[in-house]
Amino acid sequence: MSKPTIVTFLKNWQGYAKGEQAGFAAAKAADLEKAGVATTGKKGAGKATGGSDDKGAAEKAAAEKLAADKAAADKAANEGKP
């Protein structure tokens, strides 16, 4: 059994609060990082160097993903309705 990958949440997500840490399978941790929800700390999480631009881009990517997911859910819910 492999060790969990520790992530630090950049914002609230499914019961986890911003700043909380949790362990996930490597694939899930990578998905959370790609979505801008969490960081694995490999890129200097918590350090004061260059974080503001990266954080803004991550938040924008996460917001875009949430909007796309919501649009897909709305479309699925409305299929077959007149």
Confidence (pLDDT) at 50 = 41
How far is residue 68 from each of residues 8, 34, 71, measured CA to CA in Å?
A: 24, 15, 5
Amino acid 10: pLDDT: 94
pLDDT for 78 = 78
Amino acid at position 35, single letter: A
**pLDDT at residue 47, rounded to an integer:** 40
58 C-beta neighbours (distance < 10 Å), count: 20
Dihedral over alpha carbons 9, 13, 17, 20 (to 10 degrees): -30
Q: Tens-of-pLDDT digits for all 82 residues of the chain?
A: 688 999 999 999 999 999 999 999 999 999 999 999 999 976 444 443 344 455 666 677 777 777 777 777 777 777 776 6
Query: Domain residues of the chain, as ranges?
Result: 5-77
The three-class DSSP label of residue 13 is strand
